[in-house]
């Protein structure tokens, strides 16, 4: 009998906040950690972004599967997407294997320099030389496609964000998931790069930091709205839309209201919350 676990496709959110982590009772149901998504494809672990949520994920991975190969895909290097890197436990496991991939970013020569600069003094006491894992750094070209295994295909596209950002689509076992975060839409226009990534997709998370009515106050910061996410989902014939990258001023009650509005458009649309696990297979 075939091992069905080899086709397990799960998406788990370890952090859904943008800009800053938050804490306290008003944020408890949604969670306060910044961006981190774990994607399990059979026996492969893919992590998208390394915000504060990656610390707890790293502890889980070390306790359950310390010797597995880990693929870390960074959308970009703003603090809320990388601040957990120095605290990711698998980096400190001797002979663990971790690939770190990121698109080209303004101000960084390559992905290796990005990590070195992140942990450079005066901002951090020690550099990546303290890591004992085997780390492979990859700098991705725009609009590239690559395979992690024969069964897992990754497709990328550039996003509209200051300094650069990359969206990712993962195809596995005839199902698909995409992470589209830190991108700013232009009113009345729909980003063709995003539409290609989410075309007929099963599930995608989207940068829903703002409401349409708030965009005028945040132009140039590189973020979008749940309303634009809905518009894109409809055009692309996408399945489930998960709103993510919640602003630190958005509490649980605020996000409940947004989710209610999203579900009025489609019951499969929802707000992504820390701890949510979506099973695609």
270: domain CATH number? 3.60.15.10
pLDDT in tens, 251-274: 999 999 999 999 999 999 999 999
pLDDT in tens, 71-85: 999 999 999 999 999
CA separation for the pair 113, 119 (Å, rounded):
10
> What share of the chain in percent tops pLDDT 90?
95
Give pLDDT, residue 1.
44
Q: Which domain holds residue 10?
A: 4-279
pTM for this model (two decimals): 0.96
- In the chain, the number of structural domains is 1
Kindly report the average pLDDT of the chain as a whole number: 96
Res. 195: pLDDT tops 50? yes
* pLDDT class of 281 with cuts at 50, 70, 90: confident
Looking at residues 135-150, what average pLDDT do you find?
96
Give pLDDT, residue 3.
59
Strand spans (E) along the chain: 9-15, 36-41, 44-48, 69-74, 97-103, 134-140, 145-149, 152-158, 166-172, 175-180, 203-207, 240-244, 270-271, 277-279
Res. 238: pLDDT tops 70? yes
CA separation for the pair 118, 116 (Å, rounded):
5
Torsion of CA 164, 54, 206, 148, to 10 degrees: 80
Per the CB < 8 A criterion, the answer to whether 9 and 280 are in contact is yes
Give pLDDT, residue 5.
67
In a 13 Å sphere around the CA of 229, the CA atoms on its Cβ side amount to: 37
């Amino acid at each position: 009998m075939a091992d069905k676990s080899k086709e397990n496709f799960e998406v788990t959110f370890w952090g859904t906040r943008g800009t800053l982590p938050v804490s306290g009772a008003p944020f408890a149901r949604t969670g306060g950690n910044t961006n981190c998504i774990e994607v399990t494809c059979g026996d492969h672990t893919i992590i998208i972004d390394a915000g504060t949520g990656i610390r707890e994920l790293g502890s889980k991975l070390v306790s359950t599967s310390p010797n597995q190969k880990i693929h870390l895909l960074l959308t970009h290097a703003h603090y809320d997407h990388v601040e957990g890197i120095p605290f990711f436990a698998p980096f400190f496991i001797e002979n663990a294997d971790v690939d770190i991939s990121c698109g080209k970013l303004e101000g960084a020569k390559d992905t290796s320099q990005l990590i070195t600069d992140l942990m450079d003094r005066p901002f951090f006491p020690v550099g990546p030389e303290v890591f004992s894992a085997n780390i492979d750094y990859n700098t991705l070209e725009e609009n590239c496609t690559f395979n992690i295994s024969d069964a897992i295909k990754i497709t990328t596209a550039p996003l509209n964000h200051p300094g650069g950002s990359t969206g990712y689509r993962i195809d596995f076992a005839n199902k698909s998931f995409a992470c589209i975060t830190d991108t700013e839409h232009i009113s009345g226009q729909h980003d063709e790069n995003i539409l290609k990534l989410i075309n007929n997709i099963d599930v995608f998370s989207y940068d829903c930091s703002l409401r349409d009515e708030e965009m005028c106050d945040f132009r140039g910061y590189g973020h979008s709205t749940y309303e634009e996410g809905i518009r894109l989902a409809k055009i692309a014939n996408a399945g489930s839309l998960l709103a993510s990258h919640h602003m630190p001023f958005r509490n649980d009650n605020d996000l409940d209201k947004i989710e209610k509005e999203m579900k009025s458009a489609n019951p499969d649309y929802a707000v992504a919350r820390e701890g949510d696990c979506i099973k695609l297979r």
